[in-house]
Structure 1
Amino acid sequence: MKLENFKDVRDSIEKNQSRAFHLLLGNGFSMAYDPNIFSYNALHDFVTKLDDKDLSIILDVIKTQNFEVIMQHLDNFSALIAAFEGDLGLRKRVDKASVNLKSSLLNAVKALHPEHVFEVPEEKSKACSRFLKRFLDSGGNIFSTNYDLLLYWVLMRNSVVNHVDGCGRELENPDEFVPPEEQEWSELIWGKNRDAQNVFYVHGALPFFDTGTAVTKEEYDGYNNLLENISGRMAKGEYPIFVTAGDGQQKLSHIKHNEYLTFCYENLCNAEGSLVTFGFNFGKYDEHIIKAINRAAKHGRKVKDKLWSIYIGVYSDSDKEHIEQIEDKFKCKVHIFDAKTARVWG
């Protein structure tokens, strides 16, 4: 397959102005900002330093920095213990280690994260906002599988016009006649503006919490920065919406059990036009994303309103070879472009 560059993608957007171009971001988006913070190696190093005997044993035995692989091994081991009617105590220990690994991963993301929005250099933030705005201006959506705050920060700091994450406030004393200054408003609740939503965190993200009755979004409150407020909630045992299951089917199951995640996923399944991916490698644990893309492409049927093509950003020859090997999994036209030429962060 021909290796295109991002100029070819831009030219396609300009040429097809009646078509929406959507953007799918993977971990490579965050790694392009700072690989020392957001790589699997950095997360792995953080978790290995925790004082958890079982996690230390597991990480020493399973020689990988890919947490999805580790979680899959733990799930399989637990299932085997049950199938062979093995020691119940051992199975509980394995299951507890799996839970601890997931919470430790989230703690690692939080701990390694830049402290506040202004730690991101302004020139990087502006460059990224220009990259993102191109897709929203085409009428497309932004889908992210990342947990961190980078996307949220860039959109908010640069006041990117027309980005909507579906959240809003509700009047809590609507039955009372009170002047505007005495009206009581809720915290940010997802759903109020979902009909106009065009930014979707398909695997959840640090600011989003499921209270059991609503999905709320944490925010800067004038006293503490956003990450401090998120940390405060986590210290009380509240954890953000966060998909950490092992394989694609398990991830999809997690998604389907949460109203917000389901809404995000279904919007990806219903995308029309073209999709551009950046930092997403379509590994063996991403089958649920390929499934969504093929649903959007109407499984290749000759119909009008569907996803026609996908532009996949790759960083290396091995990345390119991988996409070439799985090209037939996609039921739409596949293009490959050199992700480095996108210069997302300037």
Structure 2
Amino acid sequence: MTILQPQVGHETLELLTNVLIGNGFSIGISSQFNYSSLVELCDLNIIDKKLFEELETSNFEFVMKTLVNADKLDKIYNRTDSTFLHAYGRIKRSLIEAIGKIHPEKYEIDLSDNYVLNKTMVRHSKRIFSTNYDMLLYWMILEDKKHVDFFGRSHNKDGTLRFTPNRESEKQVFHLHGALHLYLNDGYIEKLNTSDHLANHSSIVELIKEMIELGRMPLFISEGNGEEKKKSILNNEYLNFCYKSLEDLEGSITVFGHSLDNEVDSHIIHALNNAKKLSRVNYCIYTEGKSEPVIQLEMSRITYLFSGKEVVFYDSESIRNNMRVIEFYV
């Protein structure tokens, strides 16, 4: 098995027709994204950690709703302590602090080399599927203004941006695991809008923290195995739409910055294998600092995962470096 280095121009641009990006896309821009578990990053006490364990979930929204409902039961049965509300407050504060730890402000990365190169990649990609829930992709498409993310004002009068699945465009973005700027509001899936919401905030990251403080939890799936993630996806109208769109892909897809772990990403692997009209998987492999046996082992693993598809390997840094030329000449 060999690793190809695509030519600058048509070959590289062809690889960007359908793209799946993972955490490596973000880590390449900021090492702050190099973490394994948001729950572990949260400064939770022993009891609050046990709550996540007993509920067998890492879904913050589910845990918070459970605490709110438990507090309602307390009031019905005339219990006067505020144990559940206190836990709600602690977990909420921990989540806000964790987001502050992992997420840089835009001005901190705006001029970084890899941010500019990844932004060029996004600008030339047609359909982007992301399992990241950070703000980087949002910032990039906001600057480009050509990608549709299926949120619009068409069906509501109050100016909020709501999930609108029938928006058509050649360039599309799908947040497979949700994102920090998406949230549930009275049964609707909505998106924060910078022009409407940032008048009194210094940044959208600060705005997200305030939204959490007000009880509006971001819509994102950060942890759990593939089966747990798929269950959460299928129970949400927007996430299910994104997942079905992945299964409906045709031709080929390029996987960039994504390990496709067989345990935590099994739902993504299943969707790609289940895509009957998808014939080829282009897997971008990061080789720096890896020995040849380790690289070959990774290539064998990916080939095995997609035994029913054609699998082609590309050097991820070559693709990123090609963006330098494309940025100026295309």
Class of the TM-score when normalised by the shorter of the 2 chains? 0.7 to 0.9
Choose the corresponding residue for 1:163, options 129, 142, 147. 147
Choose the corresponding residue for 2:297, options 321, 331, 334. 321
Where do residues 219-298 of structure 1 align in structure 2 (5 Å cutoff)? 219-220=193-194, 221-224=198-201, 225-283=203-261, 284-296=263-275, 298=276
| Unmatched 5+ stretches in structure 2 | 58-86, 325-330
Q: Which amino acid aligns with 1:131?
A: M
Choose the corresponding residue for 1:25, options 3, 13, 21. 21
TM-score normalised by structure 1 residue count: 0.70
| Unmatched 5+ stretches in structure 1 | 59-70, 77-96, 174-184, 299-305
Residue 101 and residue 233 in structure 1: after superposition, are their counterparts in 2 closer, same or farther (change >3 A)?
Answer: closer
1:41 deviates by 6.2
2:304 matches 1:307: no
Where do residues 86-101 of structure 1 align in structure 2 (5 Å cutoff)? none
Choose the corresponding residue for 2:132, options 138, 141, 146. 146
- For the 8 Å contact 1:13–1:21, the answer to whether it is kept is no
Percent identity between the aligned chains?
Answer: 30
1:161 deviates by 4.9
Where 1:194 maps in the other structure, the secondary structure is: coil
Where do residues 16-165 of structure 1 align in structure 2 (5 Å cutoff)? 21-35=17-31, 37-40=32-35, 46-47=41-42, 50=43, 52-54=45-47, 75=56, 108-115=98-105, 117-122=106-111, 124=113, 125-136=115-126, 141-156=127-142, 159-165=143-149
Residue 322 and residue 192 in structure 1: after superposition, are their counterparts in 2 closer, same or farther (change >3 A)?
Answer: closer
- For the 8 Å contact 1:281–1:319, the answer to whether it is kept is no
- For the 8 Å contact 1:269–1:292, the answer to whether it is kept is yes
Give the length in aligned residue pairs: 279
- For the 8 Å contact 1:167–1:188, the answer to whether it is kept is yes
TM-score normalised by structure 2 residue count: 0.73
1:126 deviates by 3.4
CA distances 1:271-301 after superposition (whole Å, capped 9, x unpaired): 11211111110112111101111121x1xxx
Choose the corresponding residue for 1:202, options 156, 165, 176. 176
1:30 deviates by 0.7
Residue 123 and residue 242 in structure 1: after superposition, are their counterparts in 2 closer, same or farther (change >3 A)?
Answer: closer
Where 1:343 maps in the other structure, the secondary structure is: helix
1:257 deviates by 0.3
- For the 8 Å contact 1:314–1:320, the answer to whether it is kept is no
The CA distance in 1 between the partners of 2:156 and 2:103, in whole Å, is 34
RMSD of equivalent CA atoms: 3.4
CA distances 1:184-203 after superposition (whole Å, capped 9, x unpaired): x4211121653437100000
Tell me which residue corresponds to 2:76: none
- For the 8 Å contact 1:203–1:242, the answer to whether it is kept is yes
- For the 8 Å contact 2:20–2:256, the answer to whether it is kept is yes
The CA distance in 2 between the partners of 1:256 and 1:31, in whole Å, is 28
Q: Which amino acid aligns with 1:312?
A: Y
Residue 254 and residue 160 in structure 1: after superposition, are their counterparts in 2 closer, same or farther (change >3 A)?
Answer: same
